[in-house]
Structure 1
Amino acid sequence: MELKKLFQMQRELDTHIEKKHGLENEDLFDRKVLALLVEIGELANETRSFKFWSVKPSSPKPVVLEEFVDGIHFILSLGIECGFDQESIAIQAQESARNVTEQFLYVYETISSFQKSKAIADYLSLFDSYLTLASLLGFTNNEIEKAYFAKNEVNYQRQQNNY
């Protein structure tokens, strides 16, 4: 995955949003963490992996993928907020003995650890855990990149339309 390109695109989007909304001097870290948690909840809801009481299937793959890349936007943004986009970040999905539900819970744990520490090691753990979730959901790096590019464009359009 072209993380350097994704970080660059996210930095440009963040700058655009912050200028448009007069947030250049705001500390947005906690709001971005909460946004990430909400987006992961929305992703879990689309996968329905935890809904043991229901027989309704997961949403179609493109819907789940779009929700997944919403999380990528905020993970990148958090890295930028902490100055990690300049680091040489090499991240890839790991093999996991967890099922999808367990991986969602682990992602939440890694977010909590990162929120408390703001450390690069915890950021990398968060990113790794999220990409491992992608693998469990059946997404390739190429699919994630393409979906990120498409959603990034949608996010710019939303800003132009006063979303």
Structure 2
Amino acid sequence: MNLQKMFEMQKVLDDRIIKEKGLEGQDLLPNLILALQVELAECANEWRGFKHWSNNQKPRTKLSTTVGATPENASFFRCENHYCGKYVNKDDFKHLLDPDYEICPVCNAAYVTAFRDKNPLLEEYVDCLHFILSIGNRLGWNDTDTIDGVVVQHLISEKGFDTAKTFSCLLSIAYGFHFSNVEKRTYISLFTTFFELGSKLGFKWEQIEAAYMDKNAINHQRQQEGY
């Protein structure tokens, strides 16, 4: 996993948000900490393993969405004509992957909407990663050589908590960043525990990196659209 590249990409996104929203000079660290805690809770909600009261405790790992869908990444298209309403897969739409793809080739009368497949659990996980990177950049703790080495060693040697306790541990570590005497080792602990969580959720480092790149692009698109 190229952490250095992700730190840099996150800084570009954060700098853009700060400039476009007029946030220069503001202390945004409390917002980043709370945002991380919220995203951790949303990730746990998609994991669902703590919901002993529910018959549905399987992680949500597949969902079709229009958010961030393009002709290039779409898995299927839907015609918006009530009388047509055809769902057409990407292979059938290959000839439409150009600026004029919008019209349904079946009825030739209505626009089509692109849908992409997403992994809600993975997307919430990388949303957490966005804010972890932002916190590191904000505090100047983006020494990737140190972080890489400690993370790898931790994952090799440490079994750690079960998944539910790992979520709770991360929420607790995140809260600690509100204190002025927080140390860099706390940030490294956040990273190691976070990647331990990713391993427990079944994610590979390459998968996490690819999902981060995709979501980073979506976040830039959202800024462009006035999100």
Name the TM tier (shorter chain): over 0.9
2:123 is matched with which residue: 66, 72, 75? 66
Q: How many angstroms apart in 2 are the aligned matches of 1:118 and 1:8?
A: 23
Query: Which residue does 1:113 correspond to in 2?
Result: 176
Is residue 143 from structure 1 mapped to residue 200 from structure 2 by the alignment? Answer: no
What is the count of residue pairs matched by the alignment?
163
Query: Which residue does 2:225 correspond to in 1?
Result: 161
Q: Is the Cα–Cα contact under 8 Å of residues 163 and 200 in structure 2 kept in the other structure?
A: yes
Query: CA offsets, 1:28-77, max 9 Å, x none?
Result: 00000000000000000000121000011221162100000000000000
1:127 is matched with which residue: 161, 186, 191? 191
SS at match of 1:52: coil
**One-letter identity of the residue aligned with 2:133:** L
**One-letter identity of the residue aligned with 2:189:** S
Gaps in structure 2 of 5+ consecutive residues? 63-118
- Which 4+ residue blocks in structure 1 deviate beyond 4 angstroms? none
TM-score (norm 2): 0.68
**One-letter identity of the residue aligned with 2:200:** L
Structure with greater Cα Rg = 2
Query: Which residue does 2:45 correspond to in 1?
Result: 45
Query: Which residue does 1:77 correspond to in 2?
Result: 134
Q: How many angstroms apart in 1 are the aligned matches of 2:43 and 2:192?
A: 17
**One-letter identity of the residue aligned with 1:115:** H
Gaps in structure 1 of 5+ consecutive residues? none
**One-letter identity of the residue aligned with 1:8:** E
* Percent identity between the two aligned chains: 41
Q: Is the Cα–Cα contact under 8 Å of residues 111 and 126 in structure 1 kept in the other structure?
A: yes
Q: Is the Cα–Cα contact under 8 Å of residues 82 and 118 in structure 1 kept in the other structure?
A: no
Q: Decide which structure has greater strand share.
A: 2
Q: How many angstroms apart in 2 are the aligned matches of 1:41 and 1:23?
A: 26
Q: How does 1:14-29 map to 2 (within 5 A)?
A: 14-29=14-29
TM-score (norm 1): 0.94
Bigger drift between 13-22 and 103-112 goes to 103-112
Q: Is the Cα–Cα contact under 8 Å of residues 44 and 167 in structure 2 kept in the other structure?
A: yes
Q: Decide which structure has greater helix share.
A: 1
Q: CA deviation at 1:115?
A: 3.1
